[in-house]
């Protein structure tokens, strides 16, 4: 069993820890045709273009670093983080993960959690990207984003070499500077941001309300297991 979270990061998603069987082959984002149910890459724009471009960049990094990862993993982590920074709203995501505790945290705790969340996420899961081969990534057609709208959803389908398909929905937002960034992802109907938010709240309870302790000890590995296709958290 292998972790879908890492596959998702390869396709520009920064959030999950379900399990999925995969086989070896060459990873790619396949060219698409207008009449095959996926988006014509020549017509991409806005949020879809942001997802496509970053996916291409990540796949290129994976191939570049595959043979040298063992000797220099830090280089790979740095390149992945740099590729994700322009299109993933890490600060926004971290604030949503903290939920009601965001307002209770002081400025330093908020800043530290945002940094820890990003760093831990990249280090915990990006190493697994090297293991993943044999999948294709398709962007599905969606409704055009009306002028003035600052949110959008990009639908993705990841197909493994064994034929298994994993649907993803990227929730995107538009910054004041006009950039589209990811703020959440739903995988096969599972809201990953919500899983993290629930985990953070659970950690606060376990720490008897000590936010500083939770922030200092944070790990982006989700405390979940997959049993008969269902997500289970500690205590269930």
Q: 125-140 pLDDT, tens per residue?
A: 676 667 666 777 788 8
147-157 pLDDT, tens digit per residue, is 888 999 999 88
The overall pTM is greater than 0.85: no
123 exposed, middle or buried (CB, 10 Å; 0-12, 13-18, 19+)? Answer: middle
Q: Report residue 47 as tokens.
A: 């949020």
The residues with which 28 forms a beta bridge, in sequence order, are 136
Counted domains in the chain = 1
Range of the domain at 19: 2-232
Distance separating alpha carbons of residues 138 and 101, to the nearest angstrom: 37
Q: What is the pLDDT of residue 102?
A: 97
Q: CB-based burial of residue 131 (10 Å sphere; 0-12 exposed, 13-18 middle, 19+ buried)? A: middle
- CATH number at 177 reads 3.10.450.710
């Amino acid at each position: 069993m292998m972790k879908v979270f890492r596959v998702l990061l390869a396709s520009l998603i920064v959030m999950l820890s379900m399990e999925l069987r995969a086989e070896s082959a060459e990873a790619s984002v396949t060219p698409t045709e207008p009449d095959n149910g996926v988006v014509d890459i020549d017509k991409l724009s806005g949020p879809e273009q942001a997802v496509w471009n970053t996916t291409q960049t990540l796949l290129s990094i994976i191939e570049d670093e595959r043979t040298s990862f063992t000797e220099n993993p830090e280089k790979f982590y740095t390149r992945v983080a740099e590729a994700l920074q322009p299109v993933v709203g890490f600060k926004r995501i971290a604030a949503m993960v903290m939920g009601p505790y965001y307002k209770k945290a002081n400025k330093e705790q908020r800043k530290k959690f945002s940094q820890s969340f990003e760093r831990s996420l990249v280090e915990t899961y990006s190493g697994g990207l090297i293991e993943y081969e044999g999948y294709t990534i398709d962007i599905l057609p969606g409704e055009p984003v009306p002028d003035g709208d600052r949110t959008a959803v990009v639908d993705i389908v990841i197909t493994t070499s064994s034929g298994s398909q994993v649907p993803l929905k990227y929730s995107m937002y538009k910054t004041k500077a006009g950039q589209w960034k990811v703020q959440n992802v739903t995988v096969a109907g599972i809201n990953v941001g919500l899983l993290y938010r629930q985990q953070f709240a659970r950690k606060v309870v376990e720490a008897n309300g000590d936010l500083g302790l939770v922030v200092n000890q944070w790990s982006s590995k989700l405390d979940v297991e997959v049993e008969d296709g269902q997500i289970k958290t500690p205590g269930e």
